[in-house]
């Protein structure tokens, strides 16, 4: 942590969470433990370290607020992109049909491009984030009509 000048690192994966902070005097403080079921969405791609600001945004486990609709939420802090590059078409647009494995966007975090999947079957009703906009953990990205 000293070599990388990190003061805090957090890693989450399938029911396990580890958080490392440098305490006073530069000594690491490590906390680990199991996570409650369904407390974190699955991530398509590498898991990223998160910042304290990301930890303050908590998503609902189900993600459904309205009957018949759900939301694709950001699994990390980063920059939202609708296409793989400026020259390429967007992954999905309003009205597009999606399946569980359909890639809907990319979130860039720490120079790594993470493909985000819909994780549900339905149709895109609304895109809630502008291309190139920073997003937080748990932030709603797409509104999906189930079906």
pLDDT digits (tens, 9 = 90+) for 50-102: 444 433 333 333 444 678 899 999 999 999 999 999 899 999 999 999 999 99
**DSSP label at residue 79:** E
User: Residue 127 in contact with residue 139, Cβ under 8 Å?
Assistant: no
Domains of the chain in sequence order: 8-40 (no CATH), 69-146 (2.40.50.100)
CA-only gyration radius of the chain, Å: 17
Q: What is the pLDDT of residues 99-123, one digit of tens each?
A: 999 999 999 998 889 999 999 999 9
């Amino acid at each position: 942590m000293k070599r990388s000048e990190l003061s805090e690192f957090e890693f989450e994966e399938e029911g396990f969470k580890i958080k490392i902070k440098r305490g006073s005097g530069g000594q690491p403080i490590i906390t680990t433990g199991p996570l409650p079921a369904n407390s974190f969405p699955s991530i398509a791609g590498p898991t990223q370290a998160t910042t304290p600001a990301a930890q303050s945004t908590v998503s609902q486990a189900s993600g459904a607020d309205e009957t018949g609709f759900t939301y694709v939420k950001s699994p990390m802090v980063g920059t939202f992109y609708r296409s793989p590059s400026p020259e390429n078409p967007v992954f999905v647009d309003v009205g597009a049909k999606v399946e569980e494995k359909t890639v809907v966007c990319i979130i860039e975090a720490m120079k790594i491009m993470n493909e985000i999947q819909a994780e549900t079957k339905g149709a895109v009703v609304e895109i809630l984030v502008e291309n190139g906009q920073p997003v937080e953990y748990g932030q709603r990205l797409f509104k999906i009509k189930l079906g």
